[in-house]
Amino acid sequence: MKEKRNLFRKNFRLILLFIEELCTVLLAFSLFFALKEYSGARQRGESFFRQSSVFERTDAFQNLVKERMDSIVKESRLKGNFERNGRYYGRKIVDLAEYVEEGKISGTQKSSVGYYLSDLIRWSKKGLQYKYVSSSKAEGETDEVLPDDGEDEIELEEEYSPVRGRKLFDYANHYYGREDLLYLLEQALQDIGEDEQDYRELKKELDIKKTNVRFYLVDYAGKNVYTNFPDSSFREDDTIKTYGRYLILDSKGLEYESNMRVTDAYLYELMNSYMSQFSGNYYLEFAVDTDYPAVDAFSVARDNYADYRSLVIRLIIMVGASCLLVLISLLILMIQTGAEGKVRLYPFDRTKTEIAAVLLSGVLVFGIYVMVHHVVRADSTATSYAILGGGTAALNIIFLTAYLSFVRRFKAGTLYSDSLFNWFLKKWHYISSKRMEGKGSIALRGILFLLFILLNGVLVYVGTKISFAGYIGALVLDLAVLVLYLNGEAQLGRILFGVEEMSRGNLEHGIDTENMNSVNASLGSAINSMSEGMRDAMEVSIRSEKLKADLITNVSHDIKTPLTSIINYVDLLKRLDLEDEKAQSYIHVLDQKSARLKVLTDDLVEASKITSGNISLEMASLDFGLFISQMEGEVTERFEAADLSLITALPDKS
């Protein structure tokens, strides 16, 4: 049962890790698509998160409104230039200076040269042809060169003549020279070609059958009405308000009315921007038919926005669901880790907490950077997706390694205890609590060192910003500190040399503490005192050992003399033929005890010699097989007497 439970727990953990890996990859793809859509929204000037559910209240709708109003104003200006009584009029006179400088075609020739509108449009499609001919050449030599001065002749191929006949340069005067007239004609042909193309396109684009935009514009100065309504007679009769979203601007009274999501500042800015397009004030009614009967930019944008909003909602749901599943998986993994009992810490779990965090964070950040770089620069979408999926899976394994490591640290209680912060606090507490020879705390010395660094920085700053003398002061300060440091090192070297001499047995060697600082002098004096104490202790020990050796020698000698006599007399008694059994037993006891006393006396003398150093121990290799064989020979008779058999199994080799 226990094995099945352990197997289930192991399989459940693997399944949980697989689910977390899968959800993380799903989260990465969801974020990828969400960021892609967010970037696209930013480029379109839209908001990804704060969009309304109603298309008409979005930035996209507001941008289209601005574009269409710009188009209406532009079309109105072009109609004023190209039309008369609501129809295109090709015989309208274009004054070159008025058109180029003011963008207007009033229909009369003023200060420069006038051309018919249709002539200029046709000429713009053919292009202007002219060349410069140097006046220094002989007649018939017409090299085409750029004008170096005002004396070169200009040969102009005039496709069409001015309204009043003659040639273009015949109208040159003190105000408009030949170069000026050529520039005005060239610029007018370029502008009128572009305007004519815009006029045709806008006229089709703003046709009421092809757009959902409705407008009515009145130019107060020219008393012109521009509209795409079939009936242009209405005004301020609330017709424009029946189309859904509308905007009414009257620049004469700076009045406006709208049901769109716009601010007053925006409307004033809009109103002022259009005033430059007209000779005076204007009145504009603008609306978007929110039933969208026609297919135009508004209806397409509405459909795209509906799809876009649906996509955004799905992406947000996917991101949220993926995040939730990942968090649940991580939470279950955290609960399961160490749930079976004691937490097992791996070698990586014993590294300092901050070092592990920085190392793994750096690997993850670098990995994400490399993955994003390759995803963006991938040759194809499939390659991009493969890099994103594979990279996310690999980086998630690193993340899980870090996450589970920190979970194990937390449950084992080593998350803080194995941290650099805790190590620093312990060291600081130890340093700040220690006193150095009554000369102040180590913490105070640390503070002095920090003050030195601060003062050094201040002097360098002064040298950089104010005066070069700051550099001199910093140099003097650093040299002074260097001298103090080297002096302290020399004193420590003197103390170390004295300690090494004493360690070699030269206890007579003392440390000269003259000219030392207070801390080193106290240290040297303490070592000298220790040396004197050791010397005195050694003298006392030597005398004690000598007395002990002498005592043992004398006592053993005094014991040996009567013991020898006892042994001799016991031996004599053993040779007598005594019949008394008790006497025999007494003699036997005396023999054993005297032999034992002799052994003890010899051992005592040997021990005295060893402790006094008169006997040296020589280390040598011992063959245990031979040793056991000798021992076996010595005890064989005693084993046989006790009816015992000694069994040994020795190898053949030494």
Q: Give the chain's mean pLDDT.
A: 81
Residue 412: beta bridge partners?
Answer: none
Give the count of beta carbons closer than 10 Å to the beta carbon of residue 16.
Answer: 16
What confidence tens digit (pLDDT) does each residue in 490-519 have? 888 888 888 887 777 777 777 777 777 777
DSSP letter at 412? H
Q: Which of 73, 60, 109 is nearest to 198 (CA)?
A: 73
436: Cα separation from own chain's centroid:
44
Phi-psi region of 441 (alpha: psi -120 to 50; beta: other; left: phi over 0): beta
Tokens of 306: 């509906």
Distance CA 508, CA 298 (A): 106
Residue type, 419: S
Lowest mean per-residue pLDDT among 40-54, 116-130, 196-210, 545-559: 40-54
What average pLDDT does this structure show over 512-539? 79
Decide the pairing of beta strands 255-258 and 114-116: unpaired
**Interior angle at CA 645, CA 640 and CA 649, nearest 5:** 135
What does the alpha-carbon distance between residue 495 and residue 523 come to, in Å, rounded to a whole number?
8
Arithmetic mean of pLDDT, 306-327: 83
pLDDT attached to residue 436: 46
Dump pLDDT digits (tens) for 581-624: 888 888 888 888 888 888 888 887 777 777 766 677 788 888 88
Question: 12-21: per-residue pLDDT in tens?
Answer: 778 888 888 8
Strand partners, 246: 287
Mean pLDDT, to the nearest integer, of 217-245?
A: 76
Per-residue tokens: 348 = 């990586």
Tell me the average pLDDT across 622-648: 87
> What's the CA angle centered on 283, arms 280 and 287, to 5 degrees?
145
Scored b (16 or more CB within 10 A) or e, 445-456 reads eeeeeeeeeeeb
Strand partners, 132: 145, 154
Higher pLDDT, 74 or 555: 74
Ranges 14-28, 343-357, 369-383, 503-517: which has the least confidence: 503-517
Q: How far is the C-alpha of 548 from the C-alpha of 614, rounded, in Å?
A: 14
**CB-based contact 129:144 (threshold 8 Å):** no
Residue 495, φ and ψ in degrees, nearest 5: -65, -40
How far, in Å, CA of 610 to CA of 398, rounded? 66
Amino acid 48: pLDDT: 52
Task: Supply the pLDDT for residue 115.
Answer: 92
Least confident interval from 62-66, 431-435, 451-455, 602-606: 431-435
Query: Is pLDDT above 50 for 138?
Result: no
Q: Does residue 234 carry a pLDDT above 70?
A: no
The DSSP code sequence of 559-570 is HHHHHHHHHHHH
- CA proximity to 626, closest of 607, 645, 605, 651: 651
Per-residue model confidence (pLDDT) at position 136: 54
Closest Cα partner for 533 from 502, 504, 512?
Answer: 502
- Is the model's pLDDT at 46 over the cut of 70? no
In this prediction, residue 16 carries a pLDDT of 82
- In the prediction, which pLDDT does 339 show? 65
Residue 188 in this model has a pLDDT that exceeds 60 = yes
CB atoms within 10 A of CB 244: 16
- Check pLDDT > 80 for residue 156: yes
